[in-house]
Chains A and B, each alone.
Chain A
Amino acid sequence: MAEPGAEPASPFPMATESQKPRPRKAPELPILERRNWLIHLHYIHKDYDACKIAIKEQLHETQGMCEYAVYVQALIFRLEGKIQESLELFQTCSILNPQNADNLKQVARSLFLLGKHKAAIEVYNEAAKLNQKDWEICHNLGMCYMYLKHFNKAKDHLNNALQLSRHDLTYMMLGKIHLLEGETDKAIEVYKKAVEFSPENTDLLTTLGLLYLQLGVYQKAFEHLGNALTYDPSNYKAILAAGSMMQTHGDFDVALTKYRVVAYTMPESPPLWNNIGMCFFGKKKYVAAISCLKRANYLAPFDWKILYNLGLVHLTMQQYASAFHFLSAAINFQPRMGELYMLLAVALTNLEDAENAKRSYEQAVALDQCNPLVNLNYAVLLYNQGDKKGALCQYHEMEKKVSALKESSALDFDPEMVDVAQKVGAALQVGESLVWTKPTKDSKSKQRAAASSKSSSTQQPLGSNQALGQAMSSAAGYGKTVQLSTGAGVSTPLAKPPSLPLEPELGSETGPEETTSSTEPQERRKEKRKSRLTTD
């Protein structure tokens, strides 16, 4: 300090003459905090090396008494992952200055990071005594209680925090607790408030959008996800969710362009490649679909949804042996899903293993609650095997499911399914009223022209004997389409002669049928995937 004053370059008369009686008996004690500002500047510039040097100098000069230097050193240790060391230093700080709530807060924070939530709560309570109205203390207490699974206390503290000062993070955590408790409605309420408070927070927007998606409120979901994408066009979650919604509506090209952004930022995301694969599937580029799905499967080998989709695509490609492997792998990971067994049964039917196919269908029927396709396909198999009684039974099951679905939602049924159901009904000679009213109701919504014309054409022949024969043969032909509609190919041993001329026709038909029908399960995949993303 004294030398530069003596240098000729800066004659500083005031400094040297009057003010500081430095060379007297008692040496001037340096001010403890004299470099704090520099330490702080280095710290916020993330220049930790320079910061450490400054801290070391100051601590050396003050013999470790400088509270702020120790404090920043502890912060740096924490950033470097040395949490135990940082905890010790923060404790030193709180000894140096017991009145400072910040020191206690940091001690608690380090305890929290070490997973000692109970100890952290104690220290936070201590800190709360020094500083009553601190948002951070309330918020962090809430976090501690959340990890201790005391959700009610956690919610109390987080609500307190929100009353003191509103922060996005607190809303986020409060919503998360509601989700952990399974209260999606309350979580949505919280996120709604949060979005009102901070309309540009993409995380909040995305989470809310995903929650709506999970509940099936597509309009609102799309609105929020769209907002999120306006503010941050490369938001990974929002793009995936919005892309899957576009896929649902058949906008495969738009979805693919959106996915490009994600593929750039997160090239190793299994859901991304799954969705890209299904986009290609929708566009009938099956080879690309398979390679994308295989990449997804490589990245996440234990994800049954990807295996499911792989199975589906292979069924479409008439690679039944491969489809069998993917589907059985999927079943190993997810043994409680009826649709998987159904697809497996379709594959087995095509592999001419009728016995196992039947067993698989039985399993599918036992597990499935609401998908009429399962029963319909089973009915077709039974019919083709000549078990009319069983087929009839399954047909009725299907009708039950259809009517239940109609009551619960205004969902449009896949026209192919409706069509095939009509044929099967005709072939089985089910009571006319029952059979024919339902499909026409279906067709009302979507496929009026096609379905009704077909139903009328088959309605007539049912009356006469001669027509019955027609219906039979047509049913056999359509029997294939049934299976095709679920992603299967030619099988039916019954209709040998007509199958030959039908084949080329079928080949051309398979495309549209499969895509329309198979996007259905695929969409469902997406939704499930989304729900998983939200919980992430």
Chain B
Amino acid sequence: MSLSSKETNSKWLDAHYDPMANLYTFSSCIALADLHGDGESKLVMGDLGMAGHTMRLKVYRGTGLASESTLLDLPAAVTTFLMDQNEPRTPAVAVASGPFVYIYKNLRPYFKFTLPPLDANPLEQDVWEQAKEDMIDPLTLKEMLEGIRDKAEIPLSVRSLRFLAQEVPEMESFVNIHKGQPIKRQTVITCMSTLKKNMADEDAVSCLVIGTENADVLILDPEAFTILAKMTLPRVPAFLDVMGQFDVEYRVTVACRDGNIYILRRESKRPKYCIELRAQPVGLVRVHKNIVVGCSNETLQGYTQKGKKLWTVYLPAPLMTMSLLDQKSRGFQAVMVGMANQEVHMYRDKNLVDIICTQDVVTSICFGRYGREDNTLIMTTKGGGLIIKILKRTAVFEEKDISLGPPVAQSIRLSVPKKTRLYVDQTLRERENPVAMHRVFQMDLCRLRLMAARAYVKALESSLAPVTSTLQEPLKMNAVNTSAGRPSINLLVSFLYDRSLYAMKRAFFKAPMLVPGLNYPIETFVECLSDKGISDIIKVFVLREGQSTPLLTAHINMPVSEGLAAA
């Protein structure tokens, strides 16, 4: 590993790197826990697999895969928590996917929790009831459902929406298949976290906190899996952070898809504070009591728990993932930020305290106890690799920013363009006789202008220019009438040539009416009479009927006849 050898003063030891681990996951689907109660912490990971297949729940132990089991659907979140006080105190694994939370104990399926169905729209139910008894035909059903859709507070169920999308001939059969079923509205889980029940201890029993697609936050009882509390958000939650204890006081911080962060407290059904971010949140971490949020506009922002902005850090690259670094032995907490430039930055408040360069873009990151090592950093990469690093026991993070001081660019020399010896000589020459130079220049300039003016006058006088000077017949020699809208009429085209050299089939044309913007090819055939291989000029005139001065003149420099050249 070239990187580590370069960074001898790095705070991290490279424990393991497997670029072919074939893992595809996010930070929300990684957890570290002592699953078997043997004092050795394992890595639990919900692998999203490839293209929605081969979703697996993988458990790593040391550097190897300890077990894996197939998941039925893509995991949205994976977390571990203690369900009860039973000995041995082994945590359960909760995998949220779709509308379900699958609970595993000892890595065996233990329970499946399903989100309670949502209330269906009563109007919709009535309508389907009527359809069931064949009181209305599919078309009426469609109209009524559309009416409900446009006004209803409660959105329509999947079935109605599907029905509305059907073509008319298929409606009948669709109704027949589905009308027997009761109307159901189901939602899915978007994020999940845990909340201690009534004790702050490390190994206290925890509740699951679930964010759903219909913008609710649910808190579940750890044993009975009943809903202990339900709160409603204005938008769909994307990231959750929970602190406190359920029975005492807690605070749920939710980053939502509308780019806002809402802060909920115990006993509040609605958000208490709101932070408008102006960009999509990509990660949410709480450090002590402050909220640190990474945004898609490449910033890291710190807020108090009441939503007051504290600081902003501009990141060098787009953010991929974020997590908390909690070095418990030293009571040090920092935010780890994985970025698209293959770097992981660690921020203590707004100060950058460490940088890790990785071999690939990090997509998920997790810090905690792994195996028997307390401070282990687990990362998975975009290419499916797994990186495990261990924080050196001697490592101490400085509290101050390592990137302070003048920017690197300040020490780069300016690239001032060099001047040659010739330049200096010319400068000296100019210094010696500026007056003469100036006068010569001015005189030449005058001459140039005079010559240009003369040539112009001459061209105008002899109508040599390719554009006519009279306004009546704006023509170019290539027979384009350039006037805006007026056609040219009564024009003649005549050719003048040496009769001893060339013979022309037709040396005189009467041009048709020339409409602006169109091409009128007027062709004639020229025969070369001489066999000496010489060429001459043929002059072409455009004349107005009854006038002797041409409007346009063109000189065609004839090439040497090809037949002769070949002979």
Alpha-carbon gap, A294 to B295, bound state (A): 43
A260 touches B409 (CB 8 A): yes
Task: Give chain A residues whose Cβ lies under 8 Å from the Cβ of B311.
Answer: 200
User: A64: CB under 8 A from chain B?
Assistant: yes
User: B257: CB under 8 A from chain A?
Assistant: yes
Query: Which of B99, B416, B434, B438 sits near A292, CB closer than 8 Å?
Result: B416
User: A321: CB under 8 A from chain B?
Assistant: yes
User: B109: CB under 8 A from chain A?
Assistant: yes
Q: Give min CB distance, A381 to chain B, whole Å.
A: 16
Query: Which of B102, B278, B309, B340 sits near A12, CB closer than 8 Å?
Result: B102
A44 touches B438 (CB 8 A): no
Stretch at the interface among A2-10, A108-116, A496-504, A527-535: A2-10
Task: Give chain B residues whose Cβ lies under 8 Å from the Cβ of A44.
Answer: 238, 280-282, 296
Task: Give chain A residues whose Cβ lies under 8 Å from the Cβ of B102.
Answer: 12, 15
B72 touches A291 (CB 8 A): no
Q: Give min CB distance, A215 to chain B, whole Å.
A: 28
User: A165: CB under 8 A from chain B?
Assistant: yes
Alpha-carbon gap, A11 to B439, bound state (A): 100
Alpha-carbon gap, A167 to B278, bound state (A): 9
User: A251: CB under 8 A from chain B?
Assistant: no
User: B531: CB under 8 A from chain A?
Assistant: no
User: B162: CB under 8 A from chain A?
Assistant: yes
A1 touches B181 (CB 8 A): no
Alpha-carbon gap, A4 to B100, bound state (A): 16
A36 touches B150 (CB 8 A): no
Given the known interface contacts A10-B69, A44-B282, the answer about A320 and B438 at a Cβ–Cβ threshold of 8 Å is yes
Given the known interface contacts A63-B162, A167-B276, A261-B409, the answer about A31 and B98 at a Cβ–Cβ threshold of 8 Å is yes
User: A509: CB under 8 A from chain B?
Assistant: no
A260 touches B109 (CB 8 A): no
User: A180: CB under 8 A from chain B?
Assistant: no
User: A26: CB under 8 A from chain B?
Assistant: yes
A260 touches B414 (CB 8 A): yes
Q: Which of B267-323 contact A (CB under 8 A)?
A: 276, 278, 280-282, 296, 309, 311-312, 314, 318, 320-321
Stretch at the interface among A346-354, A363-371, A398-406, A435-443: A346-354
User: A40: CB under 8 A from chain B?
Assistant: yes
User: A256: CB under 8 A from chain B?
Assistant: yes
Alpha-carbon gap, A339 to B236, bound state (A): 64
Task: Give chain A residues whose Cβ lies under 8 Å from the Cβ of B278.
Answer: 167, 169
B441 touches A321 (CB 8 A): yes
Q: Give min CB distance, B150 to chain A, whole Å.
A: 6
B109 touches A320 (CB 8 A): no
Alpha-carbon gap, A462 to B479, bound state (A): 82
Query: Which of A165, A169, A233, A319 sits near B430, CB closer than 8 Å?
Result: A319
User: A288: CB under 8 A from chain B?
Assistant: yes
Query: Which of B69, B409, B434 sits near A320, CB closer than 8 Å?
Result: B434
Interface size class of A (residues with CB under 8 A): 35 or more
B363 touches A1 (CB 8 A): no
Q: Give min CB distance, B254 to chain A, whole Å.
A: 13
Task: Give chain B residues whose Cβ lies under 8 Å from the Cβ of A320.
Answer: 430, 434-435, 438
User: A189: CB under 8 A from chain B?
Assistant: no
User: B111: CB under 8 A from chain A?
Assistant: yes
User: A457: CB under 8 A from chain B?
Assistant: no
Alpha-carbon gap, A280 to B51, bound state (A): 61
Q: Which residue of A lies closest to B258 (CB)?
A: A102
Task: Give chain B residues whose Cβ lies under 8 Å from the Cβ of A318.
Answer: 431, 434
User: A259: CB under 8 A from chain B?
Assistant: yes
Stretch at the interface among B124-132, B186-194, B500-508, B535-543: B186-194
Interface string of B103-122 (1 = CB under 8 A from A): 00000010110100000000
B74 touches A350 (CB 8 A): no
Stretch at the interface among B9-17, B417-425, B464-472, B557-565: B417-425
Query: Which of A10, A25, A33, A260 sits near B72, CB closer than 8 Å?
Result: A10
Task: Give chain B residues whose Cβ lies under 8 Å from the Cβ of A165.
Answer: 276
Given the known interface contacts A25-B177, A46-B318, the answer about A65 and B414 at a Cβ–Cβ threshold of 8 Å is no
Task: Give chain A residues whose Cβ lies under 8 Å from the Cβ of B114.
Answer: 19
Query: Which of B213, B280, B409 sits near A265, CB closer than 8 Å?
Result: B409
Task: Give chain A residues whose Cβ lies under 8 Å from the Cβ of B321.
Answer: 45
Q: Give min CB distance, B190 to chain A, whole Å.
A: 4
Task: Give chain B residues whose Cβ lies under 8 Å from the Cβ of A27.
Answer: 177
Task: Give chain A residues whose Cβ lies under 8 Å from the Cβ of B407.
Answer: 233-234, 261
B419 touches A287 (CB 8 A): yes
Q: Which of B31-67 contact A (CB under 8 A)?
A: 48, 51-52, 55
Q: Which of B396-417 contact A (CB under 8 A)?
A: 406-407, 409-417
Alpha-carbon gap, A371 to B199, bound state (A): 79
Q: Which of A195-241 contact B (CB under 8 A)?
A: 198, 200-201, 232-234
Given the known interface contacts A10-B69, A11-B109, the answer about A260 and B150 at a Cβ–Cβ threshold of 8 Å is no
User: A32: CB under 8 A from chain B?
Assistant: yes
Task: Give chain B residues whose Cβ lies under 8 Å from the Cβ of A263.
Answer: 409, 412, 414-415
Alpha-carbon gap, A135 to B281, bound state (A): 18
Alpha-carbon gap, A353 to B435, bound state (A): 9
User: B144: CB under 8 A from chain A?
Assistant: no
Alpha-carbon gap, A296 to B187, bound state (A): 62
User: A148: CB under 8 A from chain B?
Assistant: no
A45 touches B320 (CB 8 A): yes
User: B159: CB under 8 A from chain A?
Assistant: yes
Query: Which of B159, B236, B416, B418 sits near A36, CB closer than 8 Å?
Result: B236
Alpha-carbon gap, A294 to B159, bound state (A): 72
Alpha-carbon gap, A320 to B441, bound state (A): 13
Task: Give chain B residues whose Cβ lies under 8 Å from the Cβ of A386.
Answer: none
Q: Give min CB distance, B59 to chain A, whole Å.
A: 13
Alpha-carbon gap, A167 to B301, bound state (A): 14
Q: Give min CB distance, B380 to chain A, whole Å.
A: 13
A37 touches B180 (CB 8 A): no
Interface string of B326-364 (1 = CB under 8 A from A): 000000000000001000000000000000000000010
Task: Give chain A residues whose Cβ lies under 8 Å from the Cβ of B109.
Answer: 10-15
A31 touches B99 (CB 8 A): yes
Q: Which residue of A lies closest to B163 (CB)?
A: A29
User: A257: CB under 8 A from chain B?
Assistant: yes
Q: Which residue of A lies closest to B312 (CB)?
A: A200
Task: Give chain A residues whose Cβ lies under 8 Å from the Cβ of B71.
Answer: 4, 10
Alpha-carbon gap, A420 to B255, bound state (A): 71
Alpha-carbon gap, A247 to B92, bound state (A): 68
User: B178: CB under 8 A from chain A?
Assistant: yes
Task: Give chain B residues whose Cβ lies under 8 Å from the Cβ of A258.
Answer: 410
A351 touches B435 (CB 8 A): yes
Q: Give min CB distance, A95 to chain B, whole Å.
A: 9
Query: Which of B74, B159, B411, B437 sits near A38, CB closer than 8 Å?
Result: B74
Given the known interface contacts A9-B69, A260-B411, the answer about A14 and B309 at a Cβ–Cβ threshold of 8 Å is no
Q: Which residue of A lies closest to B350 (CB)?
A: A200
User: A77: CB under 8 A from chain B?
Assistant: no
Alpha-carbon gap, A440 to B56, bound state (A): 91
Alpha-carbon gap, A200 to B300, bound state (A): 13
Task: Give chain B residues whose Cβ lies under 8 Å from the Cβ of A38.
Answer: 48, 74, 76
Q: Give min CB distance, A112 to chain B, whole Å.
A: 16
Query: Which of A29, A98, A233, A351 sits near B162, CB closer than 8 Å?
Result: A29
17 A-B contact pairs sorted by A residue (CB < 8 Å): A1-B72, A15-B112, A19-B114, A36-B213, A38-B48, A44-B282, A44-B296, A45-B321, A45-B363, A167-B276, A261-B410, A276-B414, A280-B416, A291-B417, A321-B437, A322-B430, A351-B434
Known: A26-B177, A37-B190, A321-B430. 15 other contacts (CB 8 A): A9-B68, A10-B72, A15-B102, A29-B158, A35-B74, A36-B190, A40-B236, A44-B281, A135-B276, A169-B278, A198-B309, A201-B312, A264-B412, A287-B423, A319-B427
* Chain A interface (Cβ < 8 Å from any Cβ of B): 1, 4-5, 7, 9-15, 19, 25-27, 29-38, 40-41, 43-46, 53, 57, 62-65, 68, 97-98, 102, 135, 165, 167, 169, 198, 200-201, 232-234, 256-261, 263-265, 267, 276, 280, 287-288, 290-292, 294-295, 317-322, 324, 350-353
Closest 8 CB pairs of A and B: A264-B409, A10-B70, A14-B112, A37-B190, A291-B417, A320-B434, A9-B70, A351-B438
